[in-house]
């Protein structure tokens, strides 16, 4: 399921799984990466394991997760994108 999350998030945000795991930090890719952090954490993965999976330090995972939680409280466009991901990966609805 973890690879499915990464692929789905990449599709919705207009990126590729390689972009999400890569070094580029453009806003769409950084947002997609942060959503992956958030959703992978919701599946029960540790911050260390999420970091290893996406080639990031665990502190980056923590900050990205907090960013998503904040954006989900007010950014309607961002909320729509996350909803699209949840629609495509129904098993995430239970944990997110």
Which residue's entry shows tokens 């919705």?
Answer: 12
Query: For position 94, what pLDDT does the model report?
Result: 77
Residue partners of 48: CB distance under 8 A and separation at least 6: 58
d(CA 55, CA 18): 11
Q: Which residue has the tokens 């580029």?
A: 24
pLDDT in tens, the chain (96 residues): 789 999 999 999 999 999 999 999 999 999 999 999 999 999 999 999 999 999 999 999 999 999 999 999 999 999 999 999 999 988 887 776
State the alpha helices, DSSP H only, in the chain. 2-13, 17-21, 27-42, 47-53, 58-71, 76-88
pLDDT at 96: 67
């Amino acid at each position: 399921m973890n690879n499915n999350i990464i692929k789905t998030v990449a599709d919705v945000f207009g990126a590729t799984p390689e972009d999400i795991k890569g070094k580029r930090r453009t806003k769409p890719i950084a947002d997609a990466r942060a959503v992956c952090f958030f959703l992978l954490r919701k599946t029960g993965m540790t911050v260390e394991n999420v970091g290893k999976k996406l080639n990031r330090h665990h502190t980056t995972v923590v900050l990205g997760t907090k960013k998503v939680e904040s954006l989900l409280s007010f950014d309607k466009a961002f909320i729509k994108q996350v909803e699209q991901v949840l629609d495509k990966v129904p098993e995430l609805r239970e944990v997110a």
